[in-house]
Amino acid sequence: MKLEDKKRVLREMVVHRRFEERCYQAYIERKIGGFLHLYPGQEACCNGVMEAARPGYDYVITGYRDHVHAIKCGSDPREVMAELYGKETGSSKGRGGSMHIFDVKHRFMGGYALVGGPFPLAAGIAKGIQMKGGDEIAICFLGDAANNQGTFHETMNMAALYKLPVLFVCENNLYGIGTAIERSTAVVHQHKRVCGYDMEAAETDGQDIEKVYEAAKTAINHVRSGKGPYFLELLTYRYRGHSMSDSRGYRSREEEEMWKQRDPIFILRDRLIAEKAMTMADYEAMEKEVDNYIENEVIKFAEESPEPKAEELEKYVFADRESQMPWITGKAA
Amino acid sequence: MAEIMYWEALQRAHDEEMARDPLVICMGEDIGVAGGTYKATKGLYEKYGPLRVIDTPISENSYTGLGIGASFLGVRPIIELMSVNFAWLAMDQMFNSAAKVRYMSGGQLTAPCVFRSAGGAAHQLGAQHSARMEKVFMGIAGLRVVTPSNPRQAYGLLKSAVRSDDPVYINEHELMYNMKGDVPDGEYFHPLEGSEVTRSGTDVTLFGYNISVHWNLKAAEILDKQYGISAEVVDLYSLSPLDREGIRKSVSKTHRAVVVGEEEAPVGVCAEVISIINEECFFELDAAPVRVNSALVPQPYNHTLEKAAIPNAEDVVAAVLKLFGRG
C-alpha cells in the first residue's frame, strides 16, 4: 500500500471505530432500536479488501454487521446514522434499520439478516454482471458461522460451476453468535471448506490491513480476470458481543485482551509512527478531529432529521403503481 | 385465436419474452437440456443457450436466491420451482429477499423476478408431492400471487409477470398442463389484479381459482340442469391482492357465496374471501357464506383415500343445496 493511502485508511478506520462506538452509546440512550451488531476489531478486513477493490464500482453485499461496509463503499456516515435512528433521511429511509443498510448508488447492495442469505444473492449479482458484460465484480462479506448454512455449499457449487465473478470474503471472528467455532464447525480453517468445489482460496491475518490488502489484490485479480470465484478467509476478532444483548460469557477476558494487543488500527498506526510518517500527537489530534466530526455532523444530522410519515407506511412495498398499470390492468401499450 | 395446451401457452410466453429482451432468463431444475418437467421451457435451451436457460443443481433456495440477486441488476429471471413442495426450500429467499428488499431498502432495490411452480394433488403423488401452498404465498407483503386456470391466463399472466417490476409468484397445477384452451394469436397481457366472471348467474356465486374454477363450472351446470339454481362462477386468478370489488359486486348480485379451493380449510384463500365478503357486503347476504376444501391430512397415496381428501363438483353442488335448505 502507498503511504498516502495508509494514512487515509488509518483515518477511515478511526471513523469506522468511533462511528460504531457512538452507536453503542446511542443504543444505551435508546436512540437506536432493534438489534445492533458492531464491527470494532474487524476494521482491517473490510478496509483491506475494499482498498484492493473499486469501492462504488464493484458490488458489495453483506450480513447484518453492515454499517462499516456501506460507509467504505461510499455511503455518507450521516445517512447511515440517520438510518439507525429510523429517520426519513436514512440510507433506507428509516425502513431498514441497522441490519438493512442499502446504498445502491454506491453499489452497496445491502445488509441482510438471515445468516448465509447473501451468498446466493452475491452469486446472482455476479450473474447479472456476467450477462451485462462489465468488468465489475461482486464481493460478499460474511462471517464464519454463515458457512454452516446450506446456502454456503449450494452457492459455492453454483459460483464455481458457472464461473461467476464473485469474491467471497469470510471474516472469521471465531464465534457464531455465542458459540465458538470449534464447538460448531468440524473444520476451523474456513478456506479449506471450498476445496470441495475446486475453488481458489486463501487465508490471511485479518488484523493487519497490509496483509489483507495483498491477499485481496491476488483474489480480486483472479476474479476480475474472468477466472471464476475466489474465497478469502481473514482471521479476525470482534471486541463486542454478537449484538447488544450479549454479555460475552462464552469467552474469557484474557482472550479478548490478547486480541486487543493485535488491534488493526494500532498495528497500522504504530507502523506509520515507526516509518516516521506521523507522530502519536498527530494520531491523537486526528482522533479528536474524528470525534468532533461524528458528534457535530453525524449525530447532529441523525438527531435533527425528520421521522418518516405514518401515512407513508405502505410506500415501497410494491413498485410505483402508476408505472406498473399496463401489467396490473393488462392494458399494455 | 388458436387452441393450445396450458404448457404450450407458458412456453410461448417464455419464448416471446426471451426473444424481446436479452435480460430475460429462465432457470430451474431440468428446464434446459431436458426441456422442462412440464415442457414449459421446451426448445428454449437450443434457441437461447446455457447462459440464459440455466439448468440448476437441485438447490432450490440458492438458485432462487441467485435469480433474485441477478434481478437486482435488471436481469428478469423466470425461476421454475419444479413442484411447489420444493418451493418450501426456497421460501427463505423468496420471502426474506425478493419480497422485502424493496421495502427495507427504502425503494432503492427491487426484485423483478417471476417464480413459477406446480402445486396441487395429481395422481397418487403422495404426501410430499401434492401440496397446496398458495395460502402461504398470499400472506407475504411485497409478493404478487397469481394462479392461471386456463391457457389464456397462463400465457397472459406470465407475460405480465415478466414485465412487472414486482416479484410475482405464479401458482400452476400439476393436472392442468395438458388442458386445452383458446389463446389470442397476438401478444396478450393478462391483468395481474382483478377477477373474471367465467359464467354469469343470479342465485349464488361460486368463487374459485385455478383447478377449482373447473369444479365450479361443472357444479354450475348440474345446479342449472338438475335443480334450477343459477350459479355465477368467479375466477380469482389474482390471490394477492384479492379482488375486493369483484367479490363485492358478485355477492351483491347473487346474495349467496360458496368459496371453493383445493387447499385445506384452516387458514387460506377461502377464509380470506369470506372475510372480504363479511367486510364488504355482509348486509347483502341471504345466507352465511361457506367454503369447500380438502381434508386436513397429509395427502394419502391410496387412490380411494386421495379421492376422499380432495373436493369435487358434487361437493360444491351439495354445499349450494345446503345453502338453499335443500341439502
For B129-157, the pLDDT digits (tens) are 999 999 999 999 999 999 999 999 999 99
DSSP label of B268: S
pLDDT at A288 over 90: yes
Residues B249 and B111 in one domain: no
Domain boundary among B139, B162, B183: B183
**What pLDDT is attached to residue A244?**
86
Query: What average pLDDT does this structure show over B225-232?
Result: 98
Q: Name the residue among A105, A120, A127 with its Cβ closest to that of B93.
A: A120
Domain containing B303 equals 196-323
Sign of the alpha-carbon dihedral angle for B222, B224, B230, B232: positive
Q: Which CATH number fits domain A3-329: 3.40.50.970, 1.10.10.10, 3.30.450.20, 3.40.50.2300?
A: 3.40.50.970
Neighbours of A1 (CB within 10 A): 18
ipTM comes to: 0.97
Residues B17 and B89 in one domain: yes
Residues B219 and B89 in one domain: no
Q: Which single residue is written with the C-alpha cell 453503542?
A: A24
* Entry field: residues in chain B: 327
For residues B81 and B320, give the distance between their C-alpha atoms in angstroms, rounded to a whole number.
Answer: 36
Q: How far apart are the first and last CA of chain A?
A: 55
Q: Which residues from chain B sit within 8 angstroms of residue A122, using beta carbons?
A: 69
For residues A317 and A45, give the distance between their C-alpha atoms in angstroms, rounded to a whole number.
Answer: 34
pLDDT category at A245 given cuts 50, 70, 90 is: confident
Query: What average pLDDT does this structure show over A258-286?
Result: 97
The whole-angstrom distance between residue A61's C-alpha and the CA centroid of its chain comes to: 7
Residues B158 and B202 in one domain: no
Residues B36 and B94 in one domain: yes
Task: Suggest the residue from A154, A161, A314, A321 to mutate for an interface test with chain B (most B CBs closer than 10 A).
Answer: A154
CA angle (A155, B114, B66) in 5-degree steps: 10
- C-alpha distances out from residue A264 to A37, A90, A287, Å: 19, 29, 15
For A51-107, the pLDDT digits (tens) are 999 999 999 999 999 999 999 999 999 999 999 999 999 999 999 999 999 999 999
Residues B21 and B131 in one domain: yes
Interface of A with B in 108-127 (CB under 8 A): 109-110, 112-114, 117, 119-127
For residues A143 and A177, give the distance between their C-alpha atoms in angstroms, rounded to a whole number.
Answer: 10
**What pLDDT is attached to residue A231?**
98
Among left, alpha and beta (phi > 0; psi -120 to 50; other), residue A245 is alpha
pLDDT at B327 over 90: no
Q: Within a domain: residue B188?
A: no
DSSP label of B136: H
- Spatial neighbors of A73 by CB under 8 A, at least 6 apart, are A50, A55, A56, A60, A103, A106, A107, A108
**What pLDDT is attached to residue A270?**
98
Chain-chain contact of B75 with A131 (C-beta, under 8 angstroms): yes
**Cβ pairs bridging A and B (under 8 Å):** 185
* Shortest Cα distance, chain B CAs vs residue A99, angstroms: 10
Residue ranges per structural domain of chain A: 3-329
Query: What average pLDDT does this structure show over A180-194?
Result: 96
Q: What's the per-residue H, E or C state across A259-293?
A: HHCCCHHHHHHHHHHHCCCCCHHHHHHHHHHHHHH
- CB distance from A133 to chain B under 8 Å? no
- Spatial neighbors of A219 by CB under 8 A, at least 6 apart, are A52, A167, A200, A202, A230, A232
Residues B36 and B137 in one domain: yes
Chain-chain contact of A315 with B192 (C-beta, under 8 angstroms): no
Domain boundary among B162, B183, B204: B183
Residues B162 and B72 in one domain: yes
Residues B29 and B155 in one domain: yes
- Spatial neighbors of A294 by CB under 8 A, at least 6 apart, are A15, A18, A19, A22, A77
Q: Name the residue among B52, B106, B165 with its Cβ closest to that of A324.
A: B165
Q: What is the largest CA-CA distance in chain A?
A: 71
Q: Name the residue among B54, B69, B166 with its Cβ closest to that of A120.
A: B69
Chain-chain contact of B160 with A330 (C-beta, under 8 angstroms): yes
Please report, for the domain that includes residue B213, its CATH number: 3.40.50.920
**What pLDDT is attached to residue A246?**
87
Residues B280 and B132 in one domain: no
Query: What average pLDDT does this structure show over B296-305?
Result: 96
Residues B33 and B136 in one domain: yes
Q: Within a domain: residue B191?
A: no
Q: What is the number of domains present in chain B?
A: 2
Instruction: Tell which residue, A227, A170, A234, has the closest CA to residue A199.
Output: A227
Residues B166 and B40 in one domain: yes
Q: What is the largest CA-CA distance in chain B?
A: 61
pLDDT category at A333 given cuts 50, 70, 90 is: low
